[in-house]
Copies of this chain bind each other. A is one copy, B any other.
Amino acid sequence: MDFYPASMENLIDKFASLPGVGRKSAQRLAFHMLSLPDGQAELFADAIIQARKNVHCCKVCQNLTEGDICGICDNDNRDHSTICVVTEPKDVLTIEQSHEYHGVYHVLHGALSPISHIGPDDIRIRELLQRIADNDIREIIMATNPDTEGEATAMYISRLLQPFGVKVTRLAYGIPVGSNIEFADSATIIRAIEGRTEM
């Protein structure tokens, strides 16, 4: 059933492997690639290569950065004694857009999930504990998603933190339960930060 040239089929396969992209959309995207002006598709390919090469995790908070330390960790105007723990880098973006939070972050890069075989060693919990041990931290705000995995992750981490005597809070349920932090609007985020409760 290969009616397209091999390298075209290959490109369609690649697009179809992306999350949320079906076969018809992949065809459309591949045709779009071929129809771009000279050099544009090459710039697209280069953007992928460059992002893979340059982007890595901040050695302090594990957020994405191109330097050693990300812009938030490197900012002296932020409150470095408050750490907001999030699941993914995009959650940092959502919370930053509310302009209500002035502390720093810790990105776990995942949530505990026995079903998906994601355990404590698969996400950046060890780095968080080390950070709390090495620095004078006043409060940890758990901002994992309000779903089963997120709750379990928050609970697990809050127990690990008990020996440190640090205050651990959880974002208030201003966020609709079962949804995703990524899609919350700024007003909801603000309500959730104001109404945070001690765990």
Contacts and interface: CB of A to CB of B under 8 A. Distances in A.
Interface of A: 1, 3-8, 10-11, 13-14, 18-20, 24-25, 27-34, 41-55, 64-66, 88-90, 92-93, 96-97, 182-183
| Interface core residue of A19, A51, A64, A88 (most chain B CB under 10 Å) | A51
B51 A3 contact: no
Contacts of A8: 51, 55, 64
Contacts of A20: 25, 28
Chain A interface mostly: helix
Contacts of A55: 5, 7-8, 34
Contacts of A48: 11, 14, 33, 41-42, 44-45
A96 to B, nearest CB: 5
What is the total number of copies of this protein in its complex?
2
B31 A88 contact: yes
Contact of A32 (B6, B19, B34, B96): B19
Nearest to A42: B49
Nearest to A67: B5
B3 A66 contact: no
Nearest to A92: B3
A4 B10 CA distance: 30
A104 to B, nearest CB: 13
B45 A6 contact: no
Contacts of A41: 48-49, 51-52
